[in-house]
């Protein structure tokens, strides 16, 4: 049976960096589900569809083919045959993903794909509904979070490293708004699964957070 680790939590908690490292250490595949929602957001944006227009999103969702491939061990996201990975990590793509991820037509499609991936291989999968909806029987569930100011400071650091100027308060506002949207939507809202372990990384660096989860996996699963 494939082994699965589910990692959920709010925007900017360090999920993808930490999950990627855990996967490497444990010899598992990292699946970034946020990137799939971002690709769907990009698709609707390119089609000129208003993210409020549920009927149009429901109609068009079936025309978006999101596929995941691994090239040199890195996840690549294809949208209708085009590699869009490099276009997905902007704040706008994150906001767009958060808006379109409220619709059942979008979620159904991606959840199915995610479940297929986890059934046949050992995965560390991160997102908002992995422990609650996508992989309710995951071997280990972690809810990874951090204080919103700490998350905003980390995001500012990443953006500045890439040479992009940004405003801490604006980023924190954006993070709080996205948390609200993700936690209060009707369909699969972000919440900690009852059997998930809470890991608050506000006072941890990446190494400490990775080791905390690897230890949990060794204690509970191996």
Q: Is 123 in the site for ligand DC (CB under 6 A)?
A: no
Footprint on residues 161-180 left by ligand DC (CB under 6 A): 178
Rounded Cα distance, 179 and 190, in Å: 8
What sign does the CA torsion over 86, 89, 95, 98 have? positive
Q: 64 with 40: CB under 8 angstroms? A: yes
Nearer to ligand DC, 114 or 219 (CB): 114
Nearer to ligand DC, 135 or 212 (CB): 135
User: How many binding residues for ligand DC (CB under 6 A)?
Assistant: 15
Rounded Cα distance, 52 and 103, in Å: 10
Extended strands (E) in the chain: 4-8, 29-32, 66-71, 74-79, 82-83, 123-127, 140-145, 197-200
Q: Among 5, 66, 182, 199, which residue interacts with ligand DC (rule: CB under 6 A)?
A: 182
Q: 118 with 4: CB under 8 angstroms? A: yes
Stretch that binds ligand DC, among 70-78, 97-105, 164-172, 203-211 (CB under 6 A): 97-105
Nearer to ligand DC, 75 or 218 (CB): 75
Nearer to ligand DC, 104 or 222 (CB): 104
State the residues that interact with ligand DC by CB under 6 A: 11, 33-34, 37-38, 94, 97-98, 101, 127-130, 178, 182
């Amino acid at each position: 049976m494939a082994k699965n680790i589910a990692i959920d939590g709010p925007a900017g908690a360090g999920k993808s960096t930490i999950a990627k490292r855990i996967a490497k250490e444990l010899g598992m595949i990292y699946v970034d589900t946020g990137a799939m929602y971002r690709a769907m957001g990009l698709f609707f944006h390119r089609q000129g569809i208003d993210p409020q227009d549920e009927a149009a999103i429901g109609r068009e969702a079936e025309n978006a083919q999101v596929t995941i491939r691994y090239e040199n061990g890195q996840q690549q996201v294809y949208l209708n045959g085009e590699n869009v990975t490099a276009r997905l990590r902007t704040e706008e793509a994150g906001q767009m993903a958060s808006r379109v991820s409220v619709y059942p037509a979008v979620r159904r499609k991606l959840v199915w794909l995610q479940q297929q991936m986890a059934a046949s291989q050992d995965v560390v999968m991160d997102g908002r509904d992995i422990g609650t909806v996508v992989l309710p029987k995951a071997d280990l569930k972690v809810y990874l979070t951090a204080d919103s100011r700490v998350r905003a400071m980390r995001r500012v650091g990443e953006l500045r490293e890439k040479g992009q100027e940004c405003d801490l308060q604006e980023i924190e506002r954006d993070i709080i708004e996205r948390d609200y949207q993700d936690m209060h939507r009707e369909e699969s809202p972000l919440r900690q699964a009852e059997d998930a372990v809470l890991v608050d990384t506000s006072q941890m660096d990446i190494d400490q957070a990775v080791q905390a989860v690897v230890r949990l996996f060794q204690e509970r699963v191996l």
